[in-house]
Structure 1
Amino acid sequence: MIRERLYKVLLGPHVSEKATRIAELNNQVTFKIAPDATKAEVRQAVEALFKVSVQAVQVVTIKGKTKRTARGIGKKSAVRKAYVRLAEGQTIEFADVE
């Protein structure tokens, strides 16, 4: 995979209560990913950038909600997330990565 594409596949970590609970219980990390990213690209990007081995990748697309505003009806954009399961004993600490 081209090095520039690696940086465009992963947009950043997705931090929420659910993501934190999954990280503690299942050794999974959640990332926001590009709309056109595939599972294979996500796997390669995580392995190359964080130097860990990936067991599985699950990709979820969350459709944007329609919201009512003072100026009419608007729509939030869709978000894609990847749940990445790491091999036993491996972790990713986002505070250490810079």
Structure 2
Amino acid sequence: MADLKYYDVILKPIITEKSMNSMSEKKYTFSVHPDATKNQIREAVEKMFAGTKVASVNTMNLEGKNRRRGNTAGKTSKTKKAVVQLTEDSAEIEIFSGL
């Protein structure tokens, strides 16, 4: 397990049509560090966004895709995605407002 601080866990928000539709249910999607655990993701969201309380965290490991450029073949890096469900009395996350 990596020694990650809470500000190293969440890399960026994922803005897609599906993730924007799930925001009405207080579900937010983030790209997270591949070695982060569910407890680390929960702690990072609660510390980074004031007034939020996390109900559950679902994670997905995404393998890298095969890519070719001419005769050279390689793979993109693997990533991890987290869907964070907030509680009913929790505050909204401000970075998603106005999108």
Alignment TM-score, normalising by the size of structure 1:
0.83
Once residues 27 and 49 of structure 1 are traced to their aligned partners in structure 2, the CA distance between those partners, rounded to angstroms, is 16
Aligned residues: 92
Unaligned runs of at least 5 residues, structure 1: none
**Alignment of structure 1 residues 27-42 onto 2, 5 Å:** 27-42=26-41
How far 1:72 moved relative to its partner? 2.0
Once residues 84 and 64 of structure 2 are traced to their aligned partners in structure 1, the CA distance between those partners, rounded to angstroms, is 22
Once residues 96 and 86 of structure 2 are traced to their aligned partners in structure 1, the CA distance between those partners, rounded to angstroms, is 18
Q: Could you tell me which amino acid in structure 2 is paired with residue 37 of structure 1?
A: A
Once residues 79 and 47 of structure 2 are traced to their aligned partners in structure 1, the CA distance between those partners, rounded to angstroms, is 23
CA distances 1:3-39 after superposition (whole Å, capped 9, x unpaired): x701111111111222112223x31011111111000
Identity of matched residues, % = 36
**Alignment of structure 1 residues 44-55 onto 2, 5 Å:** 44-51=43-50, 52-55=52-55
Alignment TM-score, normalising by the size of structure 2:
0.82
Misfit runs of 4+, over 4 Å: none
Unaligned runs of at least 5 residues, structure 2: none
Query: In 2 relative to 1, CA 47–35 (structure 1 residues): closer, same or farther, beyond 3 Å?
Result: same
